[in-house]
Amino acid sequence: MNKLEKDDDNLLRKFLNPEKIEKAPEGFTSKTMTRIQIESQSVMLNTGFFVKNRVPVISAVITAGLIIAAIIIPAGKTESLGSTIWKYLLDLEFTLPNFSLPGWLSYAMMGIFLLILFDRALSAIFHKEKTSKSPRVTY
């Protein structure tokens, strides 16, 4: 080893002394992981469809309102908006086609509805444990 390598080695040992390695206090890792889990759960709860897509939903509602207003309000008329909408509603006619549904279809729909309610109830019962056993953070 030449003198330059010895100086570099001594300099490295001065700053990277293995005897001075400090350890984290007891429980630091578990507290940190608990905080991360709590933050990730709170972020997941706050991100719904309307929260994530707020701007596109508002834009779609405004666009739909403008399109409906352009269809309902005739150009060149001096009537009020309320009378125009009232006339439009009076002119609407609803006709339903004549068709008959099988008799079992109504029972099948009620059965599907009851199964959906049963599924939601079981889901709430079995997932309650996961939400209630959230880790407690002690400082």
Residue found under tokens 């330059």: 4
pLDDT tens, N- to C-terminus, the chain (139 residues): 566 666 677 777 777 766 666 777 888 888 999 988 888 776 666 667 777 788 888 899 999 988 887 777 766 766 676 777 777 778 777 776 766 777 788 888 999 999 999 998 888 888 876 555 555 555 4
User: Side chain identity at 49, as an amino acid letter?
Assistant: F
**Burial class of residue 85, CB neighbours in 10 A (0-12, 13-18, 19+):** middle
Looking at residue 86, what is its pLDDT?
A: 77
Q: How many helices (H) and strands (E) does the chain have?
A: 6, 0
Q: What does each C-alpha distance from 135 to 39, 47, 64, 102 come to in angstroms?
A: 12, 21, 46, 53
- Domain ranges for the chain, please list them: 47-88
Identify which of 115, 117, 98, 99 has the alpha carbon closest to the alpha carbon of residue 107. Answer: 115
Tell whether pTM > 0.85.
no
Rounded-to-integer distance, Cα 60 and Cα 66, Å: 10
Rounded-to-integer distance, Cα 69 and Cα 39, Å: 44
Rounded-to-integer distance, Cα 20 and Cα 33, Å: 26
